[in-house]
Structure 1
Amino acid sequence: MKTTRLYHRIYCLMLLGLLPFLFSCGEEEEEEEPTVVQTVQARKSNVNFTQQYPATVTAVEEVELRADVNGYITGIYIEEGQRVKKGQLLYQIDETRFRARKEQAESQLAIAKANLERAQRDLRRYQALQEEDAIAGQIYDNAVIEVRNAEQEVAAAEANLENARIDLQYASIYAPFDGTIGFSQVREGTLIQPGQTLLNTLSRDEPMGVDFFPEERYLRKFTSLQFSENIEADSVFLLRLPDGQSYPYTGNIRIIDRAVDRNTGTIQIRLSFPNPDFLLRPGLSATLIVKEEESSEVLLVPEQAVQEQMGEFSVYIVENGEARQVKVQTGRKLQGETVILDGLQEGQEVIVKGIQRVSDGAAVRVENQTQR
């Protein structure tokens, strides 16, 4: 019995001796190393904001070439897709019939003029006889009517000749302006129906139009730009081509539509861009970049510093060696940076690397801090 009590006392003493060691081990396990992070300072900067719109290149002037007379195509004097000059002959319709009609009309006019001269001579002779009362009044009246009829015949013959000349002229189709011709819709020998058969399409390629559709709330802004006398307004409109390259020339407003689309709440605006290198073609899709005229001072942080959760945005800042999560209100994104509208102040240290390993209140150690 005494031996058992002795062993029990020894066991209790051993436990009491180990307790400080056990507690010291627990304390060492609870101590964590600070998380290594990198930070940058929230900074203010003057920036020019831009807006982007999908845009479509369109010809400022475009016309469908159709003949005004019927007949067979006897000549095609263009290569498809080539640039043509104003007045250049493009298509020829068989003009044999039109030349014959013109010659016939000229003959009819000559006959009508001869009849008029004869009637006028008779009238002058009858007028002299009437003054001497040597002719019946009815004969003189008939002579007057004969002259008037002859004059009408001459007028009709002249109109008929003019129509024949126009038909002969319309048998040759010329370019109405400088531009680029498209694919020909007819070949030699095709029978043309006046006003119906499409020959080709010609579009002016210098300058070119660019159409976009901003929301109606921006109408005042673009209207003021249209009538602005500020030279810098010409650099407001930039263009990015489908391959991602920037178009080397700037544009200006050419037309603002008369009304807002009631269904979409947008308004069509057409810009004019120079096209000396013929890079712009009708139907080309592009991105229009509209620059703000005045710069604004904003607070910026790197885009990777901003976290989103359930529609709310936050960043981690470093204060007294600890990470602190703060909610922020964000604005636009600018070349890898985000505009902070509220929640931060200039100069605060914002964590940009190591965010995934920190939590609110966690100890952090800043290393390799970078300044922008």
Structure 2
Amino acid sequence: MKTKNLIWCSLALICTWSCSKNQQNKNKSHKEVPVYVVKQKDTLVTNQFVTDIQAKRNVEIRSRLSGIIQKIYVNEGQFVKKGQALFKINDAELQVELLKATAGLKQATADVRIAEVELKQVKSLHDKKFVADNELELAKAKLSSARAKYAFADAEKKAVLQKINFSTVTAPFDGVLDIIPHKDGSLVTNGTLLTTLSQLDEVYAYFSIPENQYFELLAHDKLGKHQKIELTLPNGAAYKFSGSLKSAESEIDRATGSIRYKVLFPNPNHLIKHGASGKLSISEVQNNAMMIPQKATFSIQDKTYIFKVDKNNKVKMTNIKVGTALKDSYLVESGLKKGDLIIYEGTQSVKDGDQIKIKNRL
């Protein structure tokens, strides 16, 4: 009798445990979670890029002859106009060369005149049969030689004058001067760096995009179809002028797998200097974009998943393809459609095939 009672007690305990377990499973499969209704709407998407800023033109001003710097007409950081004198290199030796070249040219001019007179006389005698043909040809050859020497002397004088012009270094365009490393009295040679000139009324902000993104933009005809391009300066301040996208380089950098673009910004006050850095924010409107919260997604082996909820409130783990990442959302490229229900948060507490209870819809 005692054994029989023990058996009945054991069966009762098993039944109670089984019922309790079934109730737990039932409660677990009907976990109450919030869901998100997938929507489509026009969205302003902003991408940010680190940028390297360069002057529209930035050239090195170098000496084109050797000599002593006689005069510096400008100061470092000064704005100069095209054609304005910057440096004067002593040209005393060149002036002596010019005197010699001028004298040589005068001598060559006289020799040409003498040869012309001689040829005229010989030709007159030749016409009267007083001189032979070879004497006429010799006179013509002398005139040709004299003219050649004149051309050479003229070229020598022009070369000296050109060097004298090089002794005054002028600005090739309007711009701002950089540091001037050599002072008055310094000896410079041909090719010595005198300063650098930057045209700063406009600047280019260069940035790179990966080649896969480049071809994706190309395929969807999105290159250049931006809404707004803004520049953030190194101190965090927003630059007050908007930029315009310019053409890309003709080659993809094989080392980095990227291609460079540039954005042109006006710089009327020369606030931005050559070599500055910053951050570009390029915005574009995406029509009928499908956005979902980042917290609704999870990753497995570099793939992105969500839990989709069907009409029976049963969840299914679904792989999706995401595009641009916004502040707290993803733009979905495939795997979802408008009106789909997905678990908004708590994805770690459910598994594929579970049945849930909808807490609220967002």
- TM-score normalized by the length of structure 1: 0.70
Q: How far 1:137 moved relative to its partner?
A: 4.7
SS at match of 1:204: strand
Q: 1:219 to 1:73 in 2, by over 3 A?
A: farther
- TM-score normalized by the length of structure 2: 0.72
Letter in 2 for 1:167: K
Q: 1:219 to 1:329 in 2, by over 3 A?
A: closer
- The gaps in structure 2 that reach 5 residues or longer are 1-32, 310-314
- Per-residue CA distance 1:127-169 (angstroms, 9 max, x = gap): 1112222335554333222211110111011101110110000
* 8 Å Cα contact 1:48-1:296 kept in structure 2: no
Which of the numbers 227, 231, 253 marks the counterpart of 1:239?
231
Letter in 1 for 2:211: E
Q: How far 1:173 moved relative to its partner?
A: 0.8
Which of the numbers 156, 160, 182 marks the counterpart of 2:178?
182
Kindly indicate which of the two structures has a greater share of residues assigned to strand: 2
SS at match of 1:110: helix
Q: 1:220 to 1:141 in 2, by over 3 A?
A: farther
Q: 1:277 to 1:325 in 2, by over 3 A?
A: farther
Q: 1:188 to 1:293 in 2, by over 3 A?
A: same
Q: 1:222 to 1:99 in 2, by over 3 A?
A: farther
Which of the numbers 291, 297, 321 marks the counterpart of 1:299?
291
**1:1-372 to 2 correspondences below 5 Å:** 44-195=40-191, 197-217=192-212, 218-219=214-215, 221=217, 233=225, 235-247=227-239, 248-254=241-247, 256-301=248-293, 331=322, 332-339=324-331
- Per-residue CA distance 1:237-275 (angstroms, 9 max, x = gap): 333222333332222213x22222223221222332222
Distance, in Å, in 1 between the alignment partners of 2:155 and 2:188 is 25
Distance, in Å, in 2 between the alignment partners of 1:144 and 1:310 is 93
Choose 127-136 or 288-297, whichever is displaced more.
Answer: 288-297
Distance, in Å, in 2 between the alignment partners of 1:250 and 1:238 is 6
- Per-residue CA distance 1:96-118 (angstroms, 9 max, x = gap): 12222223212211121111111
Q: 1:261 to 1:205 in 2, by over 3 A?
A: same
- Per-residue CA distance 1:306-330 (angstroms, 9 max, x = gap): 7889987779x9xxxxxx9988868
Aligned length: 327
- Per-residue CA distance 1:65-86 (angstroms, 9 max, x = gap): 1111110101111211222211
Letter in 2 for 1:246: A
Q: 1:252 to 1:79 in 2, by over 3 A?
A: same
